[in-house]
Amino acid sequence: MPTMKAAVFVEPGRIEIQQKPIPEIGPTDALLRVTTTTICGTDVHILKGEYPVKPGLTVGHEPVGIIEKLGSAVTGYQVGQRVIAGAITPCGQCHSCLDGHGAQCGGHAMGGWQLGNTIDGCQAEFVRIPNAQANLTLVPDGLTDEQVLMCPDIMSTGLGGAESGHIRIGDTVAVFAQGPIGLCATAGAKLMGATRIIVVDGVEERLAVARKLGADETINFNQTNPVEAIKALTGGRGVDVAIEALGLQETFEACLRVLKPGGTLSSLGVYSGKVSMPLDAFAAGLGDHTIVTTLCPGGKERMRRLMEVIASGRVDLTAMVTHRFKLENIVEAYDLFSHQRDGVLKIAITP
């Protein structure tokens, strides 16, 4: 039985490279030879045991690769084509998917997130993609692996935050936190026509990247109270849309506090405790507020659109790849990434 290298969750605090069998595929699957992948903040939650997965699982959910094998029921693709699949792999055929909620595939919360969660993921030499017919998208010629590496998760999630906020031309938007997802939310806000984008983070390097991606104004929360600053910048009016891209009570609440009556709070963060809405910020429930959460939209049409954004030059995310590691050294990469050393944003991993 042929084997491959894979990054495997062993126990809390320990992900390591192991030799595992190359996955077998069923009629609706595809097998990809992974050419580039990356580490996500969620993977760090897994590493730390904060998000529980089964020991022995191969982690990772952001694959760029080459089709190695196709299930018998998968049509329209050929072995050897270069493709991506989203972090979320909706089946397209269940009630939730057909109702427009692919990320909640099967009607289970987060049901569409399988790779590196409920089935083996892609921090490996090979990965099995389920429901391949709905999830493989050819990479357009002329785009490198690194150019499309953000599409499967970070870019889909970040832009999704802007889309779920229903940003309109002329909106003022605040984005709290400018990690990889927040930066993509900033890019998304600009793409949708927001004309004043105010971003908040504590790291100057990230604020500098944010400016390149569309931020009109940046607030370093170490120097300035962001709620007060945004109120002042908007003449007390508040923002049309506030995007939460971190997952803390503090940032969620700040989003609510800078929101205009009738505004929308678009939440992307993964929370690790309950989230509260203070009475005043929530206008006692009478502020015509909308709060919406978004799990990374997936599926091949989504991936096609995101790669179109890249191909068009409208958004350039290559500056987000700050480091590169071989798969065999991924333990080191996890260490760097989880401690956010050395200005790391995203790490390209190549098997």
96 belongs to the binding site for a second copy (CB under 8 A)? yes
Taking the CA atoms of 228, 233, 237 and 243 in sequence, report the sign of the dihedral they define.
Answer: negative
* Cβ at position 155, least distance to a second copy in Å: 10
60-95 CB burial, b ≥16 within 10 A, e <16: bbbbbbebbbbbeebeebeeebbbbbbbbbbbbebe
* 184-203 residues near a second copy, rule: CB under 8 A: 188, 191-193, 195-196
Which of residues 12, 21, 24, 95 is near a second copy by CB under 8 A?
95
For residue 316, the SS3 value is: coil
269 belongs to the binding site for a second copy (CB under 8 A)? yes
1 belongs to the binding site for a second copy (CB under 8 A)? no
Let me know: does 325 contact 349? Beta carbons within 8 Å.
yes
Interaction mask 302-341, a second copy, x per CB under 8 A:
x-xxx-xx-xx-x---------------------------
Q: DSSP label at 155?
A: I
Strand partners, 37: 349
Interaction mask 120-149, a second copy, x per CB under 8 A:
-----------x-xx---------------
166 belongs to the binding site for a second copy (CB under 8 A)? no
* 11-40 residues near a second copy, rule: CB under 8 A: 26-28
Interaction mask 207-246, a second copy, x per CB under 8 A:
---------x--------------------xx--------
270 belongs to the binding site for a second copy (CB under 8 A)? yes
119 belongs to the binding site for a second copy (CB under 8 A)? no
CB under 8 Å to 277, separation ≥6 — which residues? 253, 256, 291
Find the DSSP H helices in 15-109. Answer: 41-47, 95-98
Strand partners, 347: 323
Output the six-digit token pair for 348: 């390209």
* Cβ at position 241, least distance to a second copy in Å: 13
Let me know: does 129 contact 85? Beta carbons within 8 Å.
yes
Question: Total number of residues binding a second copy (CB under 8 A)?
Answer: 87
Interaction mask 38-67, a second copy, x per CB under 8 A:
------------------------------
